[in-house]
Structure 1
Amino acid sequence: MRKLMIVVGGSLALAAPLANADVLGVGANVSYWDSDFSGEVVNKDSAVDIEKDLNLDSDSNANFTAFFEHPIPVLPNVRLNYTSISQSGRGEIGLEAFDDIPVGAEVKSDLDIDQLDVTLYYEVLDNWVNLDLGLTARRFDGELVLRDQTPLSTKVSETSVDAVVPMGYLAARFDLPFTGVSVGAEGNVISYSGDSLHDFNAYGQYEFAMLQLRAGYRQMAIDYEDDDDKLDVEMSGPFASVGVAF
Structure 2
Amino acid sequence: MGIKQLIGAALLLAATAASADAMGIEAAVGVWNNTPRGDFAYKGTNLDIKDELKYDDETRLMGRVKIETPLFFPNLYLMATPMEFDGQGSKSGTFQFGDVTFDGTVPFTSELKLDHYDLGLYWGIPLLKTATAGVVNVDLGIDARLIDLKAEVVQGGVTESKSLVVGVPMIYAGVQVRPLSWFAAEGEARGMAYGDNRYYDLIARGKLILFDHLFAAAGYRYEKIEIDESDIKADVDFGGPFAEVGFQF
Task: Give the TM-score category using the shorter length.
Answer: 0.7 to 0.9
How far off its partner does 1:23 sit? 3.2
Looking at structure 1, the residues matched to 54 and 67 of structure 2 have their Cα atoms a distance apart, in angstroms, of 40
Q: Per-residue CA shift, 1:129-163, capped at 9, x if unaligned?
A: 01111000111022121111xxxx32222134431
Distance in structure 2 (CA, Å) of the matches to 1:156 and 1:93? 17
- Preserved contact between residue 33 and residue 58 of structure 2 (Cα < 8 Å): no
Distance 1:133 1:83 in 2: 21
* Aligned-residue offset at 1:93: 2.5
| Alignment size in residue pairs | 219
Change (3 A) 1:95 1:182: farther
Q: Which residue of 1 aligns with 2:196?
A: 194
How is 1:95-174 mapped onto 2 (pairs within 5 angstroms)?
95-99=93-97, 100-124=101-125, 125-126=128-129, 127-148=134-155, 153-174=156-177
Instruction: Say whether the 8 Å CA contact 1:47–1:96 is kept in structure 2.
Output: no
Relative contact order, higher structure (CA 8 A, sep 6+)? 1
Q: What's the TM-score, normalizing by structure 1?
A: 0.84
Q: What aligned pairs does 1:25-104 form with structure 2 within 5 A after superposition?
A: 25-73=24-72, 75-99=73-97, 100-104=101-105
Give the TM-score, by structure 2 length: 0.83
Structure 1 residue 95 displacement after superposition: 4.6
CA 1:205 to 1:176, structure 2 compared with 1: closer, same or farther past 3 Å?
same
Unaligned runs of 5+ in 1: 1-21
SS for the counterpart of 2:71 is: coil
Opposite residue 195 of structure 1, the aligned amino acid is N
Is contact 2:227–2:233 with CA below 8 Å preserved after alignment? Answer: yes
Give 2:22's aligned residue. 23
Contact 1:40 1:49 in 2 (8 A): yes
Give the Å deviation of 1:59. 4.8
Conserved 8 A contact 2:199-2:225 = yes
Q: 2:177–2:185: 8 Å Cα contact kept in structure 1?
A: yes
**CA offsets 1:197-230 (integer angstroms, 9 cap, x no match):** 0100112111131012110110011111222112
- The structural deviation recorded for 1:110 is 1.5
| Alpha-carbon spacing, 1:26–1:159, altered in 2? closer, same or farther (3 Å) | same
Could you list the structure 1 runs, at least 4 aligned residues long, displaced by more than 2 angstroms after superposition: 57-60, 93-96, 159-162
- SS of the equivalent of 2:103 reads coil
Distance in 2 (CA, whole Å) between partners of 1:107 and 1:181 is: 48
Cα deviation digits, residues 74-107 of structure 1 (max 9, x gap): x100111011012111121245513211232211
Bigger helix share = 2
Matched residue, 1:4: none
State the identity as a percent. Answer: 28
- Whether contact under 8 Å (1:59, 1:88) holds in the other structure is no
Structure 2: gaps spanning 5 or more residues: 1-20
Paired residue type of 2:239: S
